């Protein structure tokens, strides 16, 4: 696919740019040389530490937003697009659109996650002493393995196609689920780092609401297909009943007599529904 190759080249260019850019390291152990312990020097030192703390919090927030959009939104949406492509197998144009959307969303997710990872390595403290950082490191490796399996997929009809499909599906589902879990652990780590329970509670509520909407849409796809089938069956039954009603009322029995002594002859003739009983009683 030309689009996937182009986006892959863009991703590689961004990674090289971020890797070669000069770091703006934010470290809490920055040493400040103070000749004397005058009140003005202590005040300057305190303001510098406050400024560093503010920069640290902003960097953590940016890291969290990048990973939220990447693993918390783009990757699940990519999975939904593949599922929609499987449901629309009868329409080739829709299948292509959903597949392209899947590729674009997944590449964007990898780009944002890579930017967040590089930023966290170059600007934040990474002692890997908590579950969030360890899980994040494993996620980055699995995410890139998943990306490479999507790029180097075997052609249709190949014997390796089934193995590739299972590996790609298992990796994609695992990365998406574990990524969502790691976002929750990141929000908790942010709360411990900044002692801001208000922001962390708000982010938890918003992220949970977003995940609930995605899950509802995921489950609604199967139900929507079931609703469409049931509606088609009901329409067919109604059409069949209407056809039977029209066929039975197309002809009625009309009584024709020549005189009172001759027998009555029953001749079927078409007439309207509203005059059926009227014609019958007129001749009796």
Alpha carbon distance 213, 110 (integer Å): 23
Residue 274 DSSP label:
G
Alpha carbon distance 268, 283 (integer Å): 14
Residue 15 binned pLDDT confidence (cut-offs 50, 70, 90): low
Give the mean model confidence (pLDDT) for residues 87-105: 85
Residue 73 binned pLDDT confidence (cut-offs 50, 70, 90): very high
Note if the pTM is more than 0.95.
no
β-bridge partners, 255: 266
Alpha carbon distance 23, 170 (integer Å): 36
Alpha carbon distance 183, 189 (integer Å): 10
Alpha carbon distance 265, 283 (integer Å): 11
> What pLDDT shows up at residue 51?
52
Kindly give, in sequence order, each residue whose CB lies less than 8 Å from that of residue 11, ignoring residues fewer than 6 positions away: 107, 110, 111, 114
Rg, the chain, Cα only: 35
3-class secondary-structure state, position 255: strand
pLDDT in tens, 116-137: 988 888 877 777 778 888 898 8
Tokens 């890139």 correspond to 144
Comparing 74-78, 106-110, 225-229, which segment has the lowest mean pLDDT? 225-229
Alpha carbon distance 266, 231 (integer Å): 43
Structural contact between residues 251 and 236, judged by C-beta atoms closer than 8 angstroms: no
Alpha carbon distance 60, 57 (integer Å): 5
Kindly give, in sequence order, each residue whose CB lies less than 8 Å from that of residue 127, ignoring residues fewer than 6 positions away: 133
């Amino acid at each position: 696919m030309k689009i996937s190759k182009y986006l892959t080249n863009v991703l590689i260019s961004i990674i090289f740019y971020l890797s070669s850019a000069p770091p703006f390291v934010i470290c809490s152990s920055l040493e400040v040389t103070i000749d004397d312990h005058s009140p003005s020097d202590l005040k300057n030192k305190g303001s510098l530490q406050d400024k560093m703390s503010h920069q640290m919090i902003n960097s953590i927030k940016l890291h969290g937003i990048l990973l939220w959009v990447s693993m918390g939104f783009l990757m699940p949406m990519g999975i939904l697009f593949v599922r929609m492509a499987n449901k629309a197998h009868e329409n080739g144009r829709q299948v292509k659109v959903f597949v392209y959307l899947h590729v674009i969303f997944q590449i964007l997710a990898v780009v944002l996650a890579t930017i967040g990872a590089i930023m966290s390595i170059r600007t934040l403290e990474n002692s890997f002493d908590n579950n969030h950082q360890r899980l994040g490191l494993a996620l980055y490796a699995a995410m890139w393995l998943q990306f490479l399996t999507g790029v180097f997929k075997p052609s249709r009809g190949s014997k390796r196609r089934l193995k590739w499909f299972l590996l790609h599906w298992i990796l994609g589902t695992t990365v998406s689920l574990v990524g969502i879990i790691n976002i929750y652990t990141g929000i908790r780590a942010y709360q411990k780092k900044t002692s801001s329970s208000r922001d962390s509670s708000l982010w938890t509520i918003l992220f949970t609401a977003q995940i609930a909407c995605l899950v509802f849409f995921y489950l609604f796809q199967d139900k929507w297909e079931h609703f469409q089938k049931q509606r088609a069956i009901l329409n067919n039954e109604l059409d069949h009943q209407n056809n039977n009603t029209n066929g039975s009322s197309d002809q009625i029995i009309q009584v024709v007599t020549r005189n009172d002594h001759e027998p009555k002859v029953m001749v079927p003739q078409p007439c309207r529904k509203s005059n059926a009983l009227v014609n019958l009683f007129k001749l009796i």
